[in-house]
Amino acid sequence: MTILQNRGNISSKIWFICDLTDEDKQNGAVLSGSASYHFDKMLSEASLPEPFITYWENNSNLLNLLHTYHPPLIGTVGKNATKEFVPSVASKKKPFDVQLDKQAGSLLISPKFNFNHYVVPFWSVDRIYSEWAYRDIYINLDLGRIKEELSYYENMGKLNELPKYNFLLEPSYGDLIDFLMGCMTKKYISHDIETIRPTKKSIKYASHPGYPYIMGFARSRSEAVSFSYWDYSPKELVNIWRLCNALFQSVPIIGQNYFNFDLWFQEALGFNMNPKLIHDTYIRAHILWPELEKSLQFLTKQYTRQPYYKDEGKNWSPKQKKDYMKYNALDCVVQYTVFEEQEKEFNVRQHLK
Amino acid sequence: MFNKVGYEYERALSCAYHKISKRGIYVNIDRLDALRCEVINEITNLLDTLSTNWSRPVYVGNIKSRLTISGTPININSSSGASSLLNNLKDMGYVVPKIRKKNAQTHEVNFEESANELALRQLFGDTGDVNIKHVLRIRELNKLLGTYINAWLFKQTYYCIYNVAGTVTGRRGSKKHIFGYGNNSQNFPKHSELGERFRKCLVARPGKILFSVDQMSAEDWPVSALAQNHNALRELSAKTWPENDRHTKLASFIFEVPIDSYTKNEWKGDNQEAAFKRYLAKKFRHANNYGMRGQRMSDTLAAEGFAFPKKACDQLLEKVDKYDPNIKLIFHTYVQQELSNSRTLRTPLGRERQFFGLRPNSPNYEILNEAYSYIPQSTVGDNTGFAVLYLDYDNNNEIIQEGHDSIVSEINDSIESLEKIFIAKEKAFDRELVFHNGIKIKIPIEAELGYDMGETIKLKEYTIDALRETYKKIKEKEIKEAPQSAEVEQLA
């Protein structure tokens, strides 16, 4: 077993654990050759201090080193490095791969470390050669995540906790009414719907648009409610729907891709929507960063500290209704956060407002 | 009212386009049904021919050949498996061309065998095999059928959803409605007999008439401004022929044919050879404006059915460059400098785009080509957007379709309503665009009237008199085409 050369400052608060390439094995050093030049340049452009760069494959001493030096921020560079330390993000289906297009930049926790840390997945450097446009995202968002966390750690002496939420899921009628009444006086609220669609077995699969099933509102970055459109008595539903209608008529609504999706369903159900009150984070992203993706998945990575979660909203059934409500509530608070962060950007780039 | 692009502008625009999306385009079901029968018939006939010639059953989607032939069936639209067109063409001995393809996963560019449109056009060009021509025709017909003719309607109306944030240039995108109705409304087929037949199915609702306005030589204006080509700007503003016919003048130059070899009408269509030269001049001008090079131009023309090898394209592009050197010297240089300084381009209406992916010490052709087209396309697209917003604020949002540089409104069938919308649209597009170099332009508009989107009459000029004259013509035509109903009315 050949021992490859690590590099950098072993006492650094930032470690990068890399997949090895054939070139690395030939050169006897991790992240060697042209990859080394590109990576160092990106670290410099991200204004990060010198990290420690090592590898995981056949590196029996790695865990000992990690538990000796306790780096709070650990970047896993490559799919396999990520899978090695955060196996929970690997796909449950063959080939059990890690999808870095979803996970890169997320704040994850490894079950292999018993000290406070975040693991942040990164693409291998060779991704940049084939898709140079990703370089800016790599530097400003992925490495930018590390930089932000490091800054907090150095100022506060500890890692910044992940966002905490206060979700009201499948609420009682009374709790729901209270929450919605509380929304009436807000400057803005975030709103999202989830639909239920025919399964693959159905003849209506891919042709029926589905029915709205779950609705959520957030009135801050952390507080949200999610409930089913249909789960209450008719008398209660009349009151709930009327209250929702009043909200749509009078309180500015934050949504994601709202004009292309949610608005149509709500109008079809008979709500008197007021499009002039809608703030669509998708449109805002289009003005601020037309070149970048505008999906909520990407905006979550760009503007929030919420780790990737969008897979939780796929392939669900009514048996997992409460999980789906949690996913819906998360969408609402994330949208709220994205909106406020975008607002900060508009305040700096006022000519785009 | 907004005078620059920003979030509040796009937010207001989303509200306006929501109304347009809800309105939809009314459809004449009888015409659509007749067109559908014809198209299916033609497809079936072609499938029969192919099945006979290839001695294999050929089908596309649900449409099969009527003949009973044994053998591995060929699915014209399948891209993999035993029934795929590609595998069967190879099996039958065709030498299938290799086409440039980017791997979605690795982003690497490779050359792969393909049976896509470009490959088939090249194959047809190489072999002259009429069966390949039939395959192309089947695909064209099937696309028309699947995308437009068979689009789901709701209450006899074709819907779509316009997406204000659908493109990086700021043009709107459009697609099938979220409830499954309709399809894209901005790319109705135009330059073909079938395309026109389909557009005739898109009609004004009873008691209404369609008034369409589009920006004349739309992108030529910002391109000429950016290239500081004052001659071109004069030509675009000229009222008489041939001064105002830039494409004919360019055709005359690059093909070395004196302008007076043909009359105005011959250049514009009456003479096939002249009209084709003019058409090519237009295409090559457009290609040169946006930095397209020989191979890509050759591929583009091949996709339209014209065989022009790379060398010939390079030579013609060189001639266009000689005719209009400011494009590269001034316009392209400006764009390159802006990208080098800030990686950002800004349009006269305030839209910004950052260009990531510029690789140092690399020609960056793909990105630069996108960058060259950005300001012209965005400017025209936003000019239309501002016009839509003006009409919406002015309570004149009876728009049923927007096509990037054009707007179609459906209004009450009366001269009073027409005059009202005529003035409104004139004001809606009355906008001075000031470029970074101080050049100011206003893109003129032209208009058409009609009861469907296929058969319209163009106004001779954008004046009230021309509008009245055209409306009179339309009414006379309507009466002529319905003599029986007129007699019945008289009797009544």
In tens, the pLDDT along A239-296 reads 999 999 999 999 999 999 999 999 999 999 999 999 999 999 999 999 999 999 999 9
HSE, side-chain direction, 13 A CA sphere, residue A236: 14
Give the closest-approach CA distance of B80 to chain A in angstroms.
22
CB B416 within 8 A of CB B394: no
pLDDT at A49: 96
pLDDT at B492: 40
Chain A 107-146, CB below 8 Å of chain B: which residues? 130-133, 135-137
Task: Tell me the one-letter amino acid at B120.
Answer: L
pLDDT at B288: 95
Would the CB atoms of B359 and A208 count as touching at under 8 Å? no
Measured between alpha carbons, how far is B369 from B357 in angstroms, rounded to an integer? 13
CA B109 to chain centre: 28
User: B130-143 vs B29-54: helix axis angle to the nearest 10?
Assistant: 150
> In angstroms, what CA-CA distances link A173 with A177, A230, A236, A240, A270?
6, 12, 7, 8, 21
Q: B57: cis peptide before it, omega within 30°?
A: no
Mean pLDDT along residues A204-210: 80
**Largest Cα span, chain B:** 82
In tens, the pLDDT along A297-339 reads 999 999 999 999 988 777 777 788 999 999 999 999 999 999 9
Residues of B near A (Cβ–Cβ under 8 Å) read 4-8, 10-12, 14-15, 17-18, 106-108, 161, 163-165, 168, 170, 177-180, 350, 352-359
A195 Ramachandran zone, left/alpha/beta (phi>0; psi -120 to 50): beta
Would the CB atoms of B179 and A268 count as touching at under 8 Å? yes
Global pTM value? 0.92
Mean pLDDT along residues A155-161: 97
Instruction: Write down how long chain B is.
Output: 492
List the beta strands (DSSP E) in chain A.
7-8, 14-18, 52-55, 73-77, 118-122, 166-169, 189-196, 211-218, 223-228, 253-255, 278-280
Residue A2 predicted with pLDDT over 70: no
Instruction: Report which secondary-structure segment, H or E, holds B42.
Output: helix B29-54
pLDDT at A204: 79
Report residues of chain B scoring pLDDT below 70. Answer: 102-109, 483-492
Mean pLDDT rounded to a whole number for chain A: 93
Instruction: Please provide residue B290's backbone torsions phi and psi, each rounded to the nearest 5 degrees.
Output: -110, 20
Structure tokens, B6: 């920003």
Rounded to 5°, angle at Cα B199 from B138 and B307: 45
Give the confidence band of A205 by pLDDT, cuts at 50, 70, 90.
confident
CB A104 within 8 A of CB A122: yes
For chains A and B, CB pairs below 8 A equal 88
Q: B399-402 and B63-64 as β-strands: parallel, antiparallel, unpaired? A: unpaired
Neighbours of B230 (CB within 10 A): 12
Measured between alpha carbons, how far is A102 from A298 in angstroms, rounded to an integer? 8
Closest partner CB to A283 (pick from B4, B10, B357): B10
Q: Which residues of B touch A281 (CB under 8 A)?
A: none
- Per the DSSP assignment, residues forming a β-bridge with B174 are B162
Instruction: Report which secondary-structure segment, H or E, holds B254.
Output: helix B246-254
pLDDT at B489: 46
Measured between alpha carbons, how far is B95 from B73 in angstroms, rounded to an integer? 20
CB B98 within 8 A of CB B105: no
Q: Which residues of A touch B353 (CB under 8 A)?
A: 290-291
Q: Which residues of B touch A131 (CB under 8 A)?
A: 107, 357
Helix (H, G, I), strand (E, B) or coil at B297: helix
> Can you say whether the dihedral through the CA atoms of A264, A265, A268, A273 is positive or negative?
negative
Closest partner CB to A352 (pick from B6, B108, B164): B6
- Whose tokens are 């009043």? That residue is A246
Chain A 179-218, CB below 8 Å of chain B: which residues? 207-209
Would the CB atoms of A286 and B108 count as touching at under 8 Å? no
Mean pLDDT along residues A93-109: 91
Q: What is the ipTM of this complex?
A: 0.93
pLDDT at B128: 84
